[in-house]
Chains A and B, each alone.
Chain A
Amino acid sequence: MPTTDKRHQEVVKKIRQIMKDVSTDLMVQKTMPVLNVPKVGSDNTVWSDSKRMLTIGDKTVGISPDSTKKIPTFTQYLVMANAVRRLLDEEMESTIRGMYYATLSTVGDEKNKQKFWAGQENSDDAIKAIELLTGVPREEFSVTSKPKGMISGPITLRVGGDVIDCNLGSRATSQLIPTNIRDVEIIKVKADFVMVVEKDTVLNNIRKSGFIQKYNAILMTGSGEPDRATRMMVKALNEEWKKPVVVFADADPWGLGIALRYKIGSESLSYDSDRLVTPDAKVLGMMFSDIYKYNIPEVARLAATDEDINRANDMKKKPWFQDKQWQKELNIFLQNNEKCELDAFFKHGFKYLAEVYLPEKLREAGVI
C-alpha cells in the first residue's frame, strides 16, 4: 500500500532509485555496484566560518560488495533501505530500536551461522547511511529515537492534534520533548529567554525553586547528549521565535563538549548541522574559573582523568576555540587538573544554584 504523504513518497522514490541503480550495475553493466556514502567523522568535518558551525566535507566512502569486509555492510544498507520503504508504505513510525528488530535475521548455513547485525549500533549506522544516501533526516521518514529531552516553561506545543501547555503549574514535572518532530509545532512562546542545562537532575532543582516564574524563562535539558529533537527545538526558539538561548553544563571537558553540541554541532552529525545547530546560543557556565570564584569546596571537586586532559588539549587547538576567554578557561583547567559538576553548588545550599549562581551569571551576560 503506497504512502500518500508527499514527503514520504519522495523518500520512497529515492530508495527505489538506489535499488534501481544497484540492479542496473548488476544486470546490465555487469559490474559491482557502489553506494557512495558521504563520510562521517573527524576527518570529514569542516568548520564553516560563515555558518559558525561544523559542516560535513566532500569525502565519500564507497560501499561495494567487491571486498570481503563490505559485503555485509552493503547488504545491511539495502535491507535497511527496504525496511524504511516498508515502514513508509505502511504509514507507520518506528524508533531506531524498532528498525533494528524489524530487520533482525541470521545469515549463513548451519556451520557458519552469524547474526545479521552485530548489535543495535550496526543498525543505527545503517539508518544513518540511508539518511546520507537519500539526503533526508530520519525523522522525515518516521524513524525516531526514544524521547529524553525535557522542557518546562511558558510555551505551548501542538503535537499531532493535541495542544500541550508546558507551563505546568505544579513545579513538579517537565514535559518530554517528542522526537517525532514532524508532528510537533510550537504555537505560543511567552518566555523572555531559554535556558538549557546539561542534566535533568539540575533542571528539576531549578524548576522546583520557582526560577521559571521568577525570571519568565523556558528550561530545557537534553539529559546528557541531546537528541536531535531537543537541538532542533532550541534552534527553532532562537531563530524563529527570537528568544536568547543560554547553556549551562558541568565544568569539565565532557560537559563543555555537550554545551557545544547546541552551539556548533558535532562531528557525528555534521551532515545535519543546518537543522540542528544554534550558533547564537551562549555558553555561560559552568566555567572552570567558577570553581574558584564560587569557592566550591575541595571535596566537591573531581580530579581530571587523562582522557579529560587529552580532550582539553585537543579543544585548545580547534579553530572555534580561539576566543581569548575560552583559552583562558582551558588553561585554568589544565593548570589545576580539577573539574566540577553543576550539582556541586548544592554543597552551598539547595537553592544556591537557582537563586545565586544562575542569576549572577545571567546578569553578567545581560540576559536578565
Chain B
Amino acid sequence: MTQKATVEVAAAQQKPATKVKVRYDKKAESEFFVDNSALAGFTTERILYMAVRELIENSLDSCETSHVLPKISLSLKMLDQENDLWTITCEDNGIGVPSDKVPVAVCSFLTSGKYVEKQQRGLFGVGLKMIAAFSTKDTIHPLKVWSKSHEEGFESYFELRTDISTNKPIVLAKKTVKGEESMIAGDSGFRVEAILHAKLSPITRNNMKSKINEYISQTSVVNPYAIIEYETDEGKVTFDRRTEVMPQPAKEVLPHPADMDLQTLKKAIMNFMNQKTTLQGILSASFQKMSSEKAKDIIAKACVENKLADKYSENELIEIVKICKHTAFQQANTDHLSPIGEEILTTGMTSEYTIVTTKEVVPSVEGTSAPEVQRPQITVKVLKPSLTAYASRTCVINNRPTIVECGIAYGGDIPSFKLYRFANKIPLLYDEGSDVAREVVSEVPINRMGITKQEAKEFANVEVKSDRAVELLPLHVFFHICSTKIPYKTAGKESIASEGELKKYMKSCLSELYRKVSAQIRRELRMKEAAGRLNLYKFYIPLVVSAISESIKIDSAKLEQAFTELAERHVKIEQQAGAQVVEKEDKITSERLEEEVEEAVEIDGEVIKPDREQIAINAARKKGKLSKPKSMKEKIPETLQKKDKQATLDAVIEGKSKGRKKVNADD
C-alpha cells in the first residue's frame, strides 16, 4: 500500500477558525497487527511463549494435513544477554511450503492455506507473520527459512524480512540448497530460525519458561504420536512417540445451511459467476445436507422465482437465508472435525510426559575463586496413573457441530488435581478460572465417583489444601473441545465460554467418567483406609493391653496377640463388605463347635469358655455375612440359618440360653 488514500474532510462547523482536518488513512495489515500485537497474544512477557506456540501449531498442522507422523525439533536459546536477543528454531517433517509461496507464507499477514471449513489449530494466517514482523521490527537479523515441499522435492533456503508498512516480504537471499548445506533430512519439511528481542525480568523469564514447558508437556499429551524435541540453555528433552496411530485428518466440508447468512450466500453465488447456474443448483452445490429437492422447496417457500443466480436482489436473498434458518436440516456432519479419539488420548494420559526443572549443582573448581553454583536443568518425567477413562459427545454449539472429549487419569504417579483444557488440540494455559471447564469440574458432584466429600478429605494428600473436594484427589481431568468456531471468551483465545448447551454436554461427559472409575476409586480408598486403621490398631493396642494387664492377672502377650488378630480380621472383613467375599466357606460342624467351646482361657484367675452363639456369629462374620462387629442387637441372619442347617445351627441357638460358661480355676 504505497499510496496512502488520504481524504480530507472539512467539518462544516460554524466557527471556521476551529476547523479540524480529519485524515483517513488505510493501514497495511502488517502495520495493524504490529501495532495491535496484543490481539494475537503477542505481549512483551508472552512473546517467546507465543512464538513457541505458533511454530509448534503450524508444524503439527502441516504434518497432520498429509498424515505424516510428526517429528518436531524446537530450540529456544539466549543469543545475546546484553541486548535481550533470543534465537528460536523450529523444524518439522511436514509437507513444507512450495518455494514460490514461502515469502508470502512467512511474511504477509492474512495469507494462509487454512481458510477452509475444517478443524485446524491455526486459522488466521497471523502467527508466523507475527514472528517475522517482530524480528524485523526489533533486530537487524533476517528470518531464515528452509523449506522442502512434498511436491517440489528440493530444499530452498530464504533470508526474509517483512516490509511492515506494506505487508510484503523482502527477500534478502534465496537459493536451493543441497548436500552439506541441507538442513532437512526427510522427504519434506520446514525449518524456521528467528531472532527475537524479549526483555524479561528474572521473574517473568522463569514464568515464561515454565509456561513454555507446560505448553509443550500438554501438547505432548494430546499428540502422543509426535516426537517433540526441545532444546534450551537448560538442557534438551525429548518426548517419545508412544503410538503410531494418528487421528483421522479433518476434511474440508461445505457450510451447513443453518449457518447461512447473506455474505455466505453471496459468496456461493459469486463462485458460480458467469456459469448460468440456477439458484437451486448453487444452493445444493454449496451447502451440505441440501438436496436439490430441498433447495427447490426453500426457493418456493421464499416466494421468489427460480431464475439465474446473479439476477437476485439482496432482499430476495435475505428471504432465502430466513427460510433456511427455520428449516430443519439433517445434523451437520463432523468430517471436518478431528477429535483426538479414545485410543490416542488414553495413550497420552497413561504416559503423561512433563518437563521438570531440577537444580544441578556445579561444584567450585579447586584453586579458583569460582563459588559453587546451582544450574537449572530440565528433564522429562513420565507420570503413569493407575487408571484412565474416556468419554465424548457430539453436539451443535453456535450452529456448528462441536465434539466434546473428556478424559480422566487417576492415582499412580499423579500427585494432585489438575485440569487440562484443549481447544482444537491446542492447550489453553491462561484464564483457567473463567473457563467453562472450571465450572463443570466444580458443579459435577464428587459423589458420582461413589465417594463422599468427607472421604475425599480424609484420604487427601495432606499438602493439598482446597475447599473443593475433587481437588483433593490425585486426579487429572482433560477436556477437549473441537469445532470450527470455538466459543472463546476473549480475543486472547485462552478460555472457553459456557455457550449454549456446551456446559451440559461437558457435565454429562464428566459424570459418565466419574461413574466409570467409581468402583476402582472406592477400592483404592478402602485399601488406604484399611492401612490407616491397621496403623491405628498398632498404636493403640499396646496401651489397652498395658491398662488391662496392670489391673488384672492376665497373659499380656496372649491378650495382645488375640487383639491384633481380631483387629486384622476385622479390617479385612470391613474391606470386603460390599465386595465379593473371597474367604472360603467356613461351615460350623457340631464337632468344630465342641472343639471351639473347649478352647478356654484363664483371665484373672478364672477359666472362661466361649459362648456357642458367639462361635456361630464369628463363623458367619468370617464368611462376610455379618460385617458389623458385636453389638447388643446383633442377630444371626436368617439366610445363614436356612443355608447351613447341617451346621447344627439349632444347637448353636439352643446354646444361647446357657450363656457364658464359667468354671472356677480351683475346681
On A, residues with C-beta under 8 Å from B are 15-16, 19-20, 22-34, 36, 62, 64-66, 68, 71-72, 74-75, 78-79, 81-82, 85-86, 105, 107-109, 112, 116
Contacts and interface: CB of A to CB of B under 8 A. Distances in A.
A82 B550 contact: yes
A78 B630 contact: no
A15 B551 contact: yes
B600 A28 contact: yes
Contacts of B632: 34, 36, 62
27 contacts: A20-B604, A20-B606, A24-B660, A27-B559, A27-B562, A27-B603, A29-B610, A30-B566, A30-B618, A31-B566, A31-B618, A32-B566, A32-B630, A34-B630, A62-B632, A64-B630, A65-B544, A68-B529, A68-B533, A71-B533, A71-B537, A78-B547, A79-B547, A82-B547, A82-B548, A105-B543, A116-B543
Contacts of B544: 22, 65, 74-75, 78-79
B536 A68 contact: yes
B551 A66 contact: no
B543 A107 contact: yes
B26 interface: no
B554 interface: yes
A26 B552 contact: no
A130 to B, nearest CB: 12
Contacts of A23: 548, 552, 554, 559, 603-604
B interface, size bucket: 35 or more
Contacts of B539: 107-109, 112
B466 interface: no
Contact of B604 (A16, A66, A71, A72): A16
Contacts of B617: 31
Contact of B603 (A20, A31, A72, A82): A20
Given A24-B660, A32-B629, A108-B535, 5 more contacts: A15-B551, A31-B617, A36-B632, A68-B533, A68-B536
Contact of B540 (A22, A72, A85): A72
A72 B544 CA distance: 10
Nearest to A80: B547
A71 B630 CA distance: 15
B319 interface: no
Interface in B614-629: 614, 617-618, 628-629
Contacts of B610: 28-30
Contacts of B551: 15-16, 19, 81-82, 85
A28 B629 contact: no
B611 interface: yes
Interface of B: 529, 532-533, 535-537, 539-540, 543-544, 546-548, 550-552, 554, 558-559, 562-563, 566-567, 570, 599-601, 603-604, 606, 608-611, 614, 617-618, 628-632, 660
Contacts of B558: 27
A199 to B, nearest CB: 41
Contact of A79 (B543, B552, B631): B543
Contacts of B536: 68, 71-72
Nearest to A76: B543
B157 to A, nearest CB: 63
Which among B540, B559, B631 has the highest number of chain A CB atoms within 10 Å?
B540
Given A27-B558, A85-B551, A65 B604 contact: no
A136 to B, nearest CB: 16
Given A25-B630, A26-B559, A30-B618, A65 B540 contact: yes
Contact of B631 (A28, A62, A107, A108): A62
A64 to B, nearest CB: 7
Contact of B552 (A16, A31, A62, A105): A16
A13 B220 CA distance: 73
Nearest to A111: B535
A20 B547 contact: no
Given A20-B552, A65-B537, A78-B547, A30 B562 contact: yes
B522 to A, nearest CB: 16
A264 B560 CA distance: 46
A16 B562 CA distance: 19
Which among A26, A29, A78 has the highest number of chain B CB atoms within 10 Å?
A26
Contacts of B559: 23, 26-27
Nearest to A21: B603
A28 B543 CA distance: 20
A68 B529 CA distance: 9
Given A20-B603, A68-B533, A85-B551, A75 B540 contact: yes
A316 to B, nearest CB: 36
Nearest to A83: B547
B65 to A, nearest CB: 56
Contacts of A82: 546-548, 550-551
Nearest first, the 10 A-B pairs at minimum CB distance are A32-B629, A82-B547, A66-B629, A78-B547, A31-B630, A27-B562, A29-B614, A75-B540, A107-B539, A19-B551
A25 to B, nearest CB: 7
B629 A64 contact: yes
B556 to A, nearest CB: 10
Contacts of B601: 24, 27-28
Nearest to A69: B536
A75 B548 contact: no
A78 B548 contact: yes
B562 A107 contact: no
Nearest to A23: B603
Contacts of A86: 550
A68 B532 contact: yes
A26 B563 contact: yes
A22 B533 CA distance: 20
Nearest to A82: B547
Contacts of A65: 537, 540, 544, 567
Contacts of A64: 629-631
B603 A24 contact: yes
